[in-house]
Amino acid sequence: SSLDRAATLNRFNDTYYRTLSEGLLMQVSDQLEVITNTDTLTTDSEQYIQSLVAAAVNASATATELSPNNVANWLTRGLVYRELVPIQGSAAEFALESFGRAVVLEPANPSHWTEFGKAYLVAADAVQPLTAAENKEAATKAQNSFNNLLEGAESAFNTAVELKSNYAPAHFQLGVVYQRQGRLDDSIGKLESVAQYNTLDVGVHFELGLLYLQRNITG
């Protein structure tokens, strides 16, 4: 409520709207965490979540409208849309557009390219279930879209690595892309190299363990 009041009183300050959007997105995440399944989602809670989502989107959009050359605004707008993809698949297009604007504004920042690539990955994950559709035409269309999104993610992560060769987050995400593409050995090799230089990163070792299990099962 304080952030909302600050934005209301300072209607031309993009920072307040950007921060408000981030706060609203946290509230959306908190609400989704307490929902174990669709049976626990009441009409009131559904409407409340929808209102939070709309408010988060509007606040991030306002920030970019007020200051379209501020890369932080586009990153936040992209993050908002990316977080909404699992519950609203159409948000993927807007997430990619927003992160695309961010990398145009600061093309030499590997972090921006990594976030851009993660948006491609989230979009690909949203499309993947459709590749098993009974309608062959629909399944083929979904598979092509899935492949194209993974290629977009791979390109973005590779750009990040070209900008900073030892940028671990991009290397890790490349391993994720390879796994999605069915290139299991490439994925393991990539994460092994990341783990070698990040010996205390529990997440990397956990994912690597899962890949070893997957290779053992499929092999």
pLDDT for 158-199, tens place per residue?
999 999 999 999 999 999 999 999 999 999 999 999 998 888
pLDDT for 32: 79
CA neighbor of 158 nearest in space, from 170, 176, 148, 175 = 170
Decide if 76 contacts 24 (C-beta within 8 A).
no
Centroid of chain to Cα 40: 26
Q: How confident is residue 38, by pLDDT bands cut at 50, 70 and 90?
A: low
Rounded CA-CA distance 53/106 in Å is 27
Give, in order, the Cα–Cα distances in Å from 139 to each of 21, 114, 206.
Answer: 36, 29, 32
pLDDT for 14-36, tens place per residue?
999 999 999 999 998 888 777 65
Q: Which two tokens stand for residue 63?
A: 């920030």
pLDDT for 190: 93
Q: pTM for the whole thing?
A: 0.89
Residues of the chain above pLDDT 70, percent: 96
